[in-house]
Each structure stands twice: as structure tokens, then as C-alpha cells.
Amino acid sequence: MKNFLIIGLGNPGDKYKKTRHNIGFMVLDSLLENLNLPSVTPFAFNKKINGELATILVEEKIHLMKPMSFMNLSGEPTVAAMKYLNIQADDLLVVHDDIDLPFGQIRLSKNSTSGGHNGIGSIIEHLHSKDFTRLRIGISTGLSRQKIPTEKFVLGKFSSEETVELEKVIASARECIESFLEDGLEKTMSNFN
């Protein structure tokens, strides 16, 4: 049975719950909620990997994980989870926000640089490789291009206008993940990028 690990990046704690940086957590929550399968275990904290872990059994075993370290330290729990679950980099998908993409756009890529994203930088550093798949979700708006510090923008909550569109964005990311699991990287990239 093949194992997959899907990691959604974010920051732990209620303070960060609805912030732009936590869209990776939101997508994983939505993925789990929208699966009508009998063989789903809900998110539960696992101290061995310092993350919340959920498992879905279909033809393969799909693990969803939300690291409970802060975003900039995502590499340690990611590598711990990979060792704990015996996951290879080829079977890793990381879902995260991207301030360089317009709000709502999604891009699937493999073997790319961190692009200045500290969570991805931490994973690359701890994994000693950038050869894994990423689903980037655009959060850039006119506001992010003004003179607001990046950290303040990504840790800010979605505006009311963005919140109206957010469910569609999350649904699109969810469909992309489902396609990736079913059809593989190349086909999914041609359909969603």
C-alpha cells in the first residue's frame, strides 16, 4: 500500500486561525471534512512528530499533517513525520500560502526554491532537498503591494471581500489535491496551473 503525506503549513493557536498564513491548515481541514469515507481518522496531536495527524484509507494511505511548530520551523516536524510514517520525498505534498501569486490562484510545482517562504525554506533545509511537490495558494492583493510589512500582511486576517471568495479558493485547492492523488503530478499541473 502506497503512503502519501500532505502537509498544510500554518501557525498553531487561535490567534492565527483565520490568517492568510494559515491557508494550508484551512485546506487540510476542508479536505478532511469533505471526504465521505468510512475510513478517516480525525486530526489528533502526535507528540513524536509535533503535529496534528489525520489518516485517510482509500487504495492508498493518505496522511494529513498540520505542524504544531511555528511556520518558520516547519522543517523539523515535516522530517519527523516523514520518518515516523516512512514517507519518501516523492510522496510529499506541502500546501502553503504564496504572497507572489494573486489571491485565489493556485500553482502545483515540484523541485522549486522556497521563493522566500520561510516555512518552505525550513523544510528544504531539514530535508536537504527541494525535490518535493508544493501546492501554492495565492494571497497577494493590492494591500500586500502597498507599504505593509510582509509579516504583518501574512499574519493578518482575510478581508471581508476575500472571505467571500475563500471557500471557492479552498475548494479549488482541495480539487487539485484530489486530482494529484488520483491522476499524478503532470496531468494535475496541466489541468490546474
Among 22, 110, 108, residue whose Cα is nearest residue 8: 22
21, 63, 96, 117: which one is catalytic?
A: 21
Cα angle value 15/153/27 (rounded, 5°): 60
- Where do the DSSP E strands lie in 9-115? 40-46, 51-57, 61-67, 92-102, 106-110
SS (H, E, C) 121-164: HHHHHHHCCCCCEEEEEEEECHHHHCCCCHHHHHCCECCHHHHH
* Cα distance between residue 96 and residue 25, in whole Å: 8
117 noted as active-site residue: no
As annotated, the active-site residues are 21
